[in-house]
A and B are shown apart, each in its own frame.
Chain A
Amino acid sequence: FPLRRKRVLLLRGKNTEAMLDSFKERVGEVLLPGDVFSFESPGSESNIQDKVICGPGLRRNGDEILVCKSGILRHKEPNLYWIDSQQKRYVPAKGECVIGIVTAKSGDVFKVDVGGSEQASLSYLAFEGATKRNRPNVQVGDLVYSQFIIANKDMEPELVCIDSSGRANGMGVFGTGGLLFKVSLGLVRKLLVPQSEIVKDLEKIFPFEMVVGMNGRIWVKARSTQQTLIVANILESCENMTAQQRRTLFKKVAQNAS
């Protein structure tokens, strides 16, 4: 699972064990904001050090850990915990790849709408092979697939279309033809899991191109308008379906398509 903003908590000795137990008991349960995992303050000295990593939805407050999102508590070995929620609002996080819409060109930066509370800026030099002379061809209204390099709550977020070695690595301007639509962030994470079942099943029906941004935007393009619409509608309906229901739906669509 692509995790964002890991917080590492260093806990000591037996308190950690108590804490871990209280966590383990509730894995897979639905938690609501305001739920608390508390443990006694570290009094006894011990040599054993243990780390608990808190992912999204969990927050440390002194000696306790607070739940700040509603969702299901998930666990990954060894000590990684997070809340799996189904929200729609996107909050930029460093390192995430998103689909943005260019809204303005101002001087040497582009303003990009990523669906967050603020627009992000994208320098024209942050494209593969771009120099002061050789500007990239980006128009207002174009789609860009790019990565956050600055994302914190007090500053304007900043995007780049190159990786650390200066390569495009799949990023940049895209999207001639094809359709852009929005889904929940939970569904996007499901699609981005390596070997995602939804994607695997879907590509059996007919070939299509897809770009998935962590901000809940998805762009698809198939051979015809009809097929693009089918893919888009199927993906939207995957939101609230069990694996079983999904398979029956896909089977039906495959029959109609052929």
Chain B
Amino acid sequence: MRETPLSNCERQFLLTAIKEKKRLDGRQTYDYRNIKITFGTQYGCCIVDLGKTSRVLAQVSCELVAPKENRPTEGILFFNLELSQMASPAFEPSRQSELLVKLNRQLERCLRNSKCIDTESLCVVSGAKVWQVRVDVHVLNHDGNIMDASSIAAITALCHFRRPDVCVQGEEVTVFTPEERDPVPLSIYHMPICVSFSFFEQGTYLLVDPCEREERVMDGLLVIAMNKHREMCSVQSSGGIMLLKEQVLRCSKIASVKVAEVTELINKALENDKKARYVFEFL
């Protein structure tokens, strides 16, 4: 099914509203929508809601595989983002759209290339057996800013995930079930989080966390991935607009504030979940 076209009147209205520093849902220019993080019953399952409409689910799983030949002592990380039709009727199933490729690439750059996960700790037997950690991100509802929601969901799911404990005796590898030995968390060095900025009127106006309709009117997008130590992990600009140095610097400053807030939120959510699980175990 085709996407609902954007009418001229919506476009006009959005642009005048942005000029007057107003947004459709009453947010300020630099405001995020309300972020809600919930966990599934399994370890490594995380759902992130942005406002009432955007919703993303991330699920982490792992299995023992042979390592890559050139990196015999490193575990493998695999990311896969999917845009199902459920999210928006405009997404076509089983087609590699430009948006899908862009999102997948950005997620990989944000989480794998930033080396936030210790891949060497995922090695079981050098050159023979390593853990392959797979992160599946499903977009359940699309109302703009899939990137930020997926990056939050993916990193939270990775923090939440526990892999089965293993024991190596000589050549023999034993994998323990959760009943035998408590599963162990992954070692995560830092938490990179993407923050999207959309630009209007050739970069004159800037909005944080654009919703779907704003994304359709925008001229360009800048995605900055950063951790709470203010280390930049990736910067991606799309839409082909020229940005000034000051603008990028200003964006990075805003990003650092937002990332600190989001990291706080994630830690709180993880803590709450831990407590809930602890109580549940003793019941």
Contacts and interface: CB of A to CB of B under 8 A. Distances in A.
Are A and B bound to each other? yes
B7 A180 contact: yes
B259 to A, nearest CB: 29
Contacts of B8: 139, 141-143, 175
Interface string B190-231: 000000000000000000000000000000000000000000
Contacts of B20: 225-226
A179 B9 CA distance: 7
Interface residues of B, number: 19
Closest 9 pairs between A and B when the two form their complex, measured CB to CB: A141-B8, A175-B9, A101-B7, A179-B13, A103-B5, A101-B5, A225-B17, A180-B10, A225-B20
B85 to A, nearest CB: 14
A233 B26 contact: yes
Secondary structure of the B contact surface, majority rule: loop
Contacts of B5: 101, 103, 113, 141
B217 to A, nearest CB: 12
14 contacts: A101-B7, A141-B8, A142-B7, A143-B7, A176-B12, A177-B12, A177-B13, A178-B9, A180-B13, A226-B20, A229-B26, A232-B24, A233-B25, A233-B26
A140 to B, nearest CB: 8
A219 interface: yes
A141 B16 contact: no
A177 B9 CA distance: 6
Interface string B12-41: 110011001010111000000000000000
B22 A229 contact: yes
Contacts of B94: none
Contacts of A141: 5-8, 11
Given A101-B5, A141-B8, A232-B24, 8 more contacts: A103-B5, A113-B4, A141-B5, A179-B9, A179-B13, A180-B10, A225-B13, A229-B17
A179 B10 contact: yes
A115 B11 CA distance: 18
How many chain A residues sit at the interface, stated as a range, is 20 to 34
Interface in A140-183: 141-143, 175-180
Nearest to B14: A179
A225 B10 CA distance: 12
Contacts of A178: 9, 13
Interface string A23-59: 0000000000000000000000000000000000000
Interface in A196-250: 219, 225-226, 228-229, 232-233
A117 interface: yes
B168 interface: no
Contacts of B22: 225-226, 229
B7 A229 contact: no
